[in-house]
C-alpha cells in the first residue's frame, strides 16, 4: 500500500494533464469551428470598440454608430473570427463624401494600405452610381457592377448585404424608398475559404450602424432579404458649407501670413488647406502653418478634405484663429502626413496648430472632461500632455502600461482650453490608432523586481517541496526494500538456521554415550547454528525498525541493546525525551542505525559494564550519544574498521557531525549531531540535514 502512493500520485497527475490537454484541444477545436461566434451583432459602444482592429482611417464610436472621419484610401475596420466560412454580413452605412463605402467578408492577411488584404467587398460608389462587388488579393478585381435606381449621394443611408456561400458570392443594396438592387451570383473557383468581416471606405469617410453577421441556415438569414433598414435622410447644414461654385471676394493667402495681420480689430482673411483635426476643434494646415477654424454651426468635414475658409482672423499666443468662418469644401483628398519632431522642438511654439509626430514615455493616464483621456508623458527633460477623444480610446488604450515608450500623432496646441499652467504644449490626438507603443516598460522597475523576487521565492519553495517529496518517496522505497529483505531473511536464512539447529540437536540426542569427540563437534555445530540464528534475527531487526514508528528512537535503541546483552552482566541506561514526529524520518532512521552500530561495537570490543544512551534536542539541533565504561582505545589513531567507516558515511549522508572520544581504559563516547530547521519552514525549506546523499 505504501509503495503505491507515488504511483497513485503519478497516475493522478497524468490524468489531470490528459484532462487539461483534452479541454484545451476541445476549446481550440470549438474556436476554430466555422460557426464559432455566430450570429454576431456589432455593438458600437466605447466598451466594445476594442473588438475591432483599425487599419487606416480615423475610427470613433458616436451615437451608437461607427464613424470614419478620414479620406484614407482603403481604410478598414475588422472584427469577427478568421475561421468564419459561410455567412451573411449586412449593415447600414452613410457616405460622407465622394468615393465608395461598404462591407467586407472573408478578410485575411490584412495590412495598412488601399488593397493590402484578401477578401470580398460589397458597397456603393459615387463615381458611377453603382452597387459594386469585387475581390481583393493585394489588387482589386471587380466582379460585378449594377447601376443604382437613384444617384448615390453623400449623407444618405444605404443598406448593403453580402452573402458568401462556398464559392458563390452575392451582393445587394438599397436606399430609403428605393427598390433593392442585387448582383448576379459570382462563382469564384479560386475563392477565399474563410475570414473576418469588416467595414471599408475608400477616398471618403463613412458611418455604419446595425452591422450583423448571420449563419446561412438561421431563420434571421432567411428573412433578411425582406427587411429594410429605415433611416432618416441626414443632410449637412447648408449654412456651414457654401456651394462649390461660389467664390470669395478675398484673396487667398498662406496661413503663416495671418500672423502679420493688424492686431487691432478682426480683419477678414481667406486661406486654403487640408483638414487635420475635426474634434474637439477643427484645424486646417497648409504648407506654411496651421490654423483653428471656428464656425457658427457644425461643419461636416473629414480628415484630409481640401477646404477654403474665410473668417475673422484673431491672433492668439502663438497662432491665429479664424472665427465666424465660412467653409467651402474643394475636394476630398488623402490626409497629410505628420511632421516628425522631438518634444523639445514642439515646445518652442513654432509648430503650434500643426500636425506632428512625437515620442515620449507614458507616466500616467487620467480621465478628463466629457470622457476624454489625458496622457502625461516625458521626453527627456521635456514633459507634455496628450488628449484623446471620448469613444474607442478608453477600451483601446486600457492596456497601456506606465513607462511605455509611445509614438503619438496629433495637433500641437497652446490653448487655455486644453493646457494647464505646467504644459508647454498639448497634443490633440485624433483617435486611438494614432497612439503606437514603441517599447514596453523596462522590466527592472521596483514593482517588477519585487514581483519577480516573490515569484522566484515561490518557485524555489515549490521545487524544493517537490525535491523533499522525491527524497521522501525514495526513502520510503528504501524502507520498503529493507522490509522486503527482512521478510526474505526471516523466511529463508532464519528458518534454515532454526531447522539446522533442530536437526543437530536431534543428532546430539542420538549420539551413543562415550563418543566424546563426536559430542563436542556436534555441540560446537549447535552453538554456531544458534549464533547464526541470533545474528539473522539481529539483521532482521536492523533492516525492519518498526519500533521507530511505534515506540520512538530511545525505546527502540534500548530494546535492541537489551536484546544483545540478554543473560549478561551489562546495564543499559537511557536518558532524554522522545523527539516526536517533527523530525524527518531520514534523520531518525540514520540516528537509529548509528546508535545500533555504536552499541554493537561497544559490546563486541570494549567489554563494558554500563552503556548510556542519551538523546537531546534544541530548537536548532538534535544530538544522540552512546557512551560506555569499557576498555576504550586510542581515538587519535587511524582505525579503518568497517563499523566506524559506516557510521561516518551515514552521518555524512545527512550532513551531520560524528565525533568519537576514547582513551585506553577510559571508555568510549560516540556522538552524532544534526542541524534542524524551524517547524514553520519544515517541508518548505529543508534544514541542512535534508540535503542528503544517496543512502
pLDDT digits (tens, 9 = 90+) for 211-245: 999 998 876 666 655 444 333 333 344 333 443 44
- Paired strand residues for 270: 252, 310
pLDDT at 48: 66
Cα separation, 109 vs 128, in Å, equals 29
Q: How many CA atoms lie within 13 A of 105 on its CB side?
A: 33
The least confident of 306-310, 410-414, 497-501, 559-563 is 497-501
Cα separation, 476 vs 7, in Å, equals 13
pLDDT at 553: 83
pLDDT at 362: 94
CA dihedral (14, 19, 22, 24) positive or negative: negative
The H or E element that residue 549 is part of is helix 547-550
Compute the average pLDDT of residues 328-344: 91
The least confident of 467-476, 598-607, 634-643, 673-682 is 673-682
Compute the average pLDDT of residues 446-474: 87
Strand blocks (E) in 152-239? 157-165, 168-175, 181-182, 186-187, 196-202, 206-215
pLDDT at 684: 43
Compute the average pLDDT of residues 484-513: 73
How far apart are the two ends of the chain, measured CA to CA in Å?
A: 23
Compute the average pLDDT of residues 63-70: 89
> Which is higher by pLDDT, 445 or 31?
445
Percentage, residues of the chain above pLDDT 90: 35
The least confident of 89-93, 309-313, 535-539 is 535-539
Q: Is the pTM above the cut of 0.85?
A: no
The three state secondary structure string of 187-204 is: ECCCCCCCCEEEEEEECC
The H or E element that residue 108 is part of is strand 100-108
- Paired strand residues for 2: none
Cα separation, 686 vs 129, in Å, equals 81
Q: Cell digits for 45? A: 459602444
Compute the average pLDDT of residues 472-479: 77
Compute the average pLDDT of residues 18-35: 68
pLDDT at 173: 93
Compute the average pLDDT of residues 120-133: 94
> Which is higher by pLDDT, 514 or 365?
365
DSSP letters for 47-63:
TTGGGSEEESS-EEEET
Measuring CA to CA, which residue among 207, 216, 118 is closest to residue 165?
216
pLDDT at 529: 78
Please count the residues of the chain: 695
**Residues 425, 407 contacting (CB under 8 angstroms):** no
pLDDT at 551: 74
Compute the average pLDDT of residues 362-384: 88
514 φ, ψ (degrees, to nearest 5): 95, -5
Number of neighbours of residue 118 by Cβ within 10 angstroms: 16
Distant-in-sequence, close-in-space partners of 175: CB < 8 Å, separation ≥ 6: 148, 149, 150, 156, 157, 158, 159
Strand blocks (E) in 380-532? 382-388, 405-413, 426-429, 435-439
The least confident of 121-135, 148-162, 603-617, 629-643 is 629-643
Q: Cell digits for 401? A: 502600461
All domains in the chain, ordered by first residue:
40-226 (2.60.120.560), 255-332 (2.40.50.200), 339-439 (2.40.50.140), 443-544 (1.10.287), 548-695 (3.30.565.10)
Mean pLDDT of the chain: 82
Give SS3 for 334. Answer: coil
Compute the average pLDDT of residues 629-656: 80
pLDDT at 28: 60
> Which is higher by pLDDT, 507 or 451?
451
pLDDT at 217: 80
Alpha-carbon distance values, 110 to 229, 575, 592 (Å): 29, 83, 74
Amino acid at each position: 500500500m505504501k509503495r503505491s502512493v507515488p504511483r497513485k500520485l503519478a497516475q493522478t497527475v497524468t490524468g489531470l494533464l490528459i484532462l487539461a490537454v483534452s479541454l484545451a484541444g476541445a476549446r481550440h477545436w470549438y474556436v476554430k469551428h466555422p460557426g464559432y461566434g455566430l450570429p454576431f451583432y456589432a455593438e458600437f459602444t466605447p466598451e466594445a470598440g476594442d473588438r475591432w482592429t483599425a487599419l487606416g482611417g480615423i475610427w470613433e464610436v458616436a451615437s451608437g454608430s461607427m464613424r470614419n472621419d478620414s479620406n484614407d484610401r482603403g481604410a478598414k475596420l475588422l472584427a469577427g473570427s478568421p475561421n468564419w466560412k459561410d455567412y451573411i454580413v449586412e449593415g447600414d452605412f452613410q457616405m460622407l463624401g465622394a468615393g465608395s463605402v461598404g462591407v467586407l467578408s472573408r478578410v485575411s492577411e490584412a495590412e495598412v494600405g488601399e488593397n493590402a488584404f484578401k477578401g470580398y467587398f460589397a458597397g456603393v460608389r459615387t463615381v458611377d452610381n453603382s452597387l459594386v462587388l469585387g475581390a481583393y488579393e493585394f489588387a482589386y478585381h471587380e466582379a460585378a457592377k449594377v447601376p443604382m435606381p437613384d444617384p448615390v449621394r453623400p449623407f444618405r443611408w444605404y443598406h448593403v448585404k453580402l452573402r458568401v456561400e462556398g464559392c458563390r458570392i452575392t451582393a445587394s443594396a438599397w436606399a430609403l424608398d428605393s427598390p433593392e438592387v442585387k448582383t448576379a451570383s459570382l462563382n469564384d473557383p479560386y475563392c477565399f475559404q474563410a475570414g473576418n468581416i469588416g467595414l471599408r471606405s475608400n477616398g471618403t469617410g463613412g458611418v455604419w450602424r446595425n452591422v450583423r453577421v448571420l449563419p446561412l441556415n438561421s431563420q434571421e438569414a432567411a428573412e433578411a432579404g425582406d427587411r429594410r433598414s429605415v433611416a432618416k435622410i441626414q443632410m449637412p447644414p447648408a449654412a456651414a458649407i457654401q456651394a462649390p461654385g461660389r467664390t470669395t471676394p478675398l484673396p487667398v493667402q498662406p496661413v503663416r501670413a495671418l500672423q502679420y495681420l493688424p492686431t487691432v480689430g478682426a480683419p477678414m482673411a481667406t486661406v486654403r488647406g487640408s483638414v487635420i483635426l475635426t474634434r474637439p476643434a477643427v484645424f486646417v494646415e497648409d504648407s506654411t502653418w496651421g490654423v483653428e477654424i471656428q464656425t457658427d454651426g457644425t461643419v461636416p468635414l473629414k480628415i484630409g478634405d481640401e477646404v477654403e475658409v474665410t473668417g475673422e482672423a484673431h491672433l492668439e499666443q502663438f497662432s491665429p484663429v479664424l472665427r465666424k468662418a465660412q467653409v467651402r469644401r474643394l475636394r476630398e483628398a488623402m490626409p497629410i502626413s505628420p511632421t516628425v519632431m522631438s518634444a523639445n522642438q514642439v515646445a518652442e511654439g513654432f509648430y503650434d496648430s500643426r500636425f506632428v509626430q512625437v515620442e515620449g514615455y507614458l507616466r500616467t493616464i487620467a480621465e478628463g472632461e466629457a470622457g476624454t483621456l489625458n496622457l502625461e508623458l516625458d521626453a527627456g527633460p521635456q514633459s507634455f500632455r496628450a488628449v484623446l477623444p471620448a469613444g474607442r480610446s478608453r477600451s483601446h488604450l486600457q492596456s497601456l502600461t506606465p513607462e511605455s515608450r509611445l509614438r503619438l500623432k496629433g495637433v500641437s496646441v497652446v490653448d487655455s482650453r486644453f493646457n494647464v499652467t505646467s504644459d508647454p504644449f498639448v497634443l490633440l490626438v485624433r483617435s486611438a490608432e494614432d497612439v503606437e507603443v514603441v517599447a514596453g516598460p523596462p522590466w527592472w522597475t521596483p514593482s517588477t523586481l519585487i514581483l519577480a523576487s516573490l515569484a522566484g521565492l515561490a518557485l524555489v519553495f515549490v521545487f524544493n517541496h517537490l525535491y523533499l517529496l522525491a527524497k521522501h518517496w525514495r526513502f520510503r522505497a528504501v524502507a520498503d526494500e529493507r522490509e522486503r529483505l527482512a521478510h526474505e531473511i526471516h523466511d529463508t536464512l532464519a528458518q534454515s538456521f532454526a531447522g539446522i539447529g533442530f536437526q543437530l540437536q536431534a543428532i546430539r540426542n542420538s549420539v551413543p554415550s562415550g563418543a566424546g569427540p563426536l559430542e563436542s563437534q556436534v555441540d560446537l555445530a549447535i552453538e554456531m547454528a544458534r549464533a547464526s540464528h541470533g545474528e539473522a534475527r539481529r539483521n532482521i531487526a536492523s533492516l525492519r525498525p518498526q519500533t521507530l514508528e511505534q515506540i520512538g528512537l530511545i525505546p527502540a535503541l534500548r530494546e535492541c541493546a537489551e536484546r544483545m546483552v540478554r543473560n549478561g552482566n551489562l546495564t543499559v541506561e537511557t536518558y532524554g525525551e522522545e523527539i516526536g514526529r517533527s523530525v524527518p524520518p531520514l534523520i531518525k532512521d540514520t540516528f537509529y542505525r548509528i546508535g545500533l552500530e555504536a552499541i554493537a561495537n561497544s559490546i563486541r570490543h570494549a567489554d563494558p559494564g554500563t552503556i548510556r544512551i542519551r538523546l537531546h534536542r534544541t530548537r536548532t539541533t538534535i544530538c544522540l550519544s552512546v557512551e560506555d565504561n569499557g576498555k576504550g582505545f586510542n581515538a587519535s589513531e587511524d582505525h579503518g574498521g568497517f563499523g566506524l567507516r559506516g557510521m561516518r558515511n551515514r552521518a555524512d549522508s545527512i550532513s551531520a557531525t560524528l565525533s568519537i572520544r576514547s582513551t585506553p581504559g577510559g571508555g568510549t563516547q560516540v556522538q552524532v549531531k544534526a542541524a534542524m530547521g524551524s517547524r514553520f519552514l519544515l517541508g518548505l525549506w529543508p534544514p541542512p540535514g535534508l540535503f542528503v546523499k544517496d543512502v
